[in-house]
Structure 1
Amino acid sequence: MFVGDDHESVATAFLDGGDVLLVDSLGSMEDARWLQRVLCVDMGATVRIIASTHFMGDHIAGMAVFPDALTIAHRNHRHAFLSQNRRDDASYREPRVVFDSAMRIRWGRHELRFLHNPGKTMDHVSVDAPSADLVCAGDNIVGNIAYLSKADPAQLRTAIGRMRQFGRGVVVGGHIGRFPAAVLDNAIHYLDRLRDAVVGIRTTAPAEEVDERIDAIPIEACLAPGVDPVAFERAWHRHTLAAVVAQSTFALDAALASREARV
């Protein structure tokens, strides 16, 4: 597993002798060239396949560095690429293989199971590796929290729940690194507590105070017990609050809660 300097983006290398299958490929050309030096120069390996958990610029830099590799993405990859807040069209590389719901690849001693699992983006893929006791989650989690961006929180929660069903002991995130399985429960806890806090504000606060109060929700109010947030999680909690305000996230939940209270 590799963690780049740019956005602490993660790439995971599965080895079959001297051949490499990459799940994601870091977030900058500098980081991708470092990945290339380690794999190809230091280890003498060849990157044969690059599979994308989701097609956003901070996870696909290596596609330009390994031009001969077979590139794989979900059929909805363009939807994810076009939905980025800051899009760099020069980084786009058309994947050579696209799939729809599921796909399996035998790679050395591992069978990698690719499952379409939309959450953070519509093209999101979870990569389950039972023989390695791990699942690559992509950006359906951000450490012990989740970043909503333009996502439907309910769909994101469902995506995390599906990964829990795999029962793997290790979860590789799209950022920061690897985590024990409890990280999935922690991310669901975060989403539930964030929803509760936002719905509470939207249903009780004066309209002119709603955005300010949402923006002031501390990460500690949403974290699972015993979780001590790292700097990256704190930063992306702030991004999530900004997205909640800008896109009126959980407004529907608040409206439904108010309607139920009147019945």
Structure 2
Amino acid sequence: MPMSHIPDREIAERPDGYGGPNLSPTGLRHLPHAFADGVYALMANIPPKDNNGLIAGSRAALVVDAGITPEVSRELQKLAGELTTSPVRYLANTTYHGDHTFGNAQFPDDVVIVTSRANKENMADLAYEKQVRAGNMYGDEAMFDRITTWRTPDLVFDSYAELDLGGRQVQLWHFGPGNGPGDTVVYVPDTRTAWTGNFVCHAGTAHMLLQGGPLPYLDSLRAMRRTLPDLDTIVPGHGSMGDGHAAIDALVGYLERLHEEVAAAVEAGKPLEEVVTTDPWEQGLDPRLAAALSGYGERAQQGMLALCRDLHRLNVLATYRVYTAGHTVETWLST
């Protein structure tokens, strides 16, 4: 599929009554989960607020994502100092979105920020990024008044980069566009764990198509599945940890169905309000996701169910807009 079919920046349109994920850092703390000595998921105590990660070797440590505000960034660095004696030398951005990158500026200048080239290219309009992310702040939009600088990455790669932290290898992969054009996966081979940002979440979770339709996303997911056959666990940017290949397979199935149903509606000349799609959450949360959220209580599970339904409506809208944006449906159906 030609890259020209992918919008230049995130769609700002949202469905009527759309809520979206609550990304406000109010009440947010990060709870360490160890996969091995020096390898930690830093899990948000309130899903779906942002998760992070810490990966340390004998010489250096890497933090996964920077947080949405200076306070979150400082908390992550403090936590890293408590969990490892290795100095933080690297910061990986899994996406360009502000809830993952606005904290970049709070890391010392000698910390090398690394991400895909496409992510850095999308970090060019701070005002627009604050505008689209403000809709997920739930009354805390004023926090963005203090975000005046968007520190961009120092080191970029096209499809693959590798870092040696001292006895621990970290792989960074860009498999292609997904939630955004530059999704970056941070993979630690010795623990078979990947930090996936917004690219892949726990099986049964709704994802967000914000820059492009299902087809390029599907290609990227299949590339990840081929490239990381030994993957065990994913730590997504939001929500619970889970089985990596189960998450990929679930999202592939969802995107295939979304593509087929929306493309058929567009081919039939239906307006957006008449597009009918399968509701994967008609019977409630996927049992695997419900089990993963059980420790957070019934309120968290109901909140996630409502969010998944909202995100599905957004995905239908975004896919419809892409499939009717100046090119023929046959182009998509033949891809």
Matched, 1:34 2:81: no
User: Residue deviations 1:212-237, cap 9 Å, x none?
Assistant: 545x7534269997545653464154
Could you say if the C-alpha distance between residues 212 and 113 of structure 1 is closer, same or farther in structure 2, counting changes exceeding 3 Å? Answer: same
Residue identity opposite 1:71 in structure 2: I
Q: 2:214 aligns with which of 153, 156, 166?
A: 153
**CA 1:23–1:67: 2 relative to 1, 3 Å:** same
Alignment partner, residue 95 of structure 2: 54
Q: Distance in 1 between matches of 2:250 and 2:117?
A: 30
The structure with the greater share of residues assigned to strand is: 1
TM-superposed deviation, 1:174: 1.9
DSSP 3-state at the match of 2:72: helix
Offset of residue 36 of structure 1 = 2.4
Q: For residue 35 of structure 1, report the CA deviation from its aligned partner.
A: 1.6
Aligned to 1:71: 113
* TM-aligned CA distance change 1:94 to 1:110, over 3 Å: same
1:2 aligns with 2:45: no
Whether the aligned pair in 1 keeps the contact of 2:196 and 2:235 (CA below 8 Å) is yes
User: What's the RMSD between the two structures over aligned residues?
Assistant: 3.5
**AA of the residue aligned to 1:124:** D
C-alpha distance after superposition, 1:2-52 (max 9, x if no partner): 134585212111012474211222333333232223222575553221011
User: What residue number does 1:251 align with?
Assistant: 323
The 1-side partners of 2:234 and 2:185 are apart by 10
Does structure 1 conserve the Cα–Cα contact (< 8 Å) formed by 2:120 and 2:156?
no
Q: Are residues 25 and 17 of structure 1, via their aligned partners in 2, closer, same or farther at CA, if it must alter by over 3 Å?
A: same
Which of 173-182 and 15-24 deviates more?
A: 15-24
Q: 1:235 to 1:254 in 2, by over 3 A?
A: farther
Amino acid at match of 1:94: T
| Structure 2 unmatched ranges of 5 or more | 1-40, 135-143, 291-300
Kindly indicate whether the alpha-carbon contact (under 8 Å) linking 2:197 and 2:236 is maintained by their aligned counterparts in 1: yes
Residues in 1 aligned to 2:217 and 2:224: alpha-carbon distance in whole angstroms: 11
Task: Give SS of 1:248's match.
Answer: helix
1:124 to 165, 168, 183: 183
Deviates more, 1:62-71 or 1:167-176: 62-71
Structure with the greater relative contact order (CA < 8 A, sep ≥ 6): 1 or 2? 2
Residue ranges of structure 1 left out of the alignment (5+ in a row):
none
Q: Is the 8 A contact 2:209 2:319 kept in 1?
A: no
Q: TM-score, normalised by structure 2?
A: 0.64
Cα separation, partners in 2 of 1:189 and 1:39, compared to 1, 3 Å = same
Say whether residues 1:190 and 2:230 are aligned partners: no
Percent of aligned pairs sharing the same letter:
19
Aligned residue identity for 2:117: R
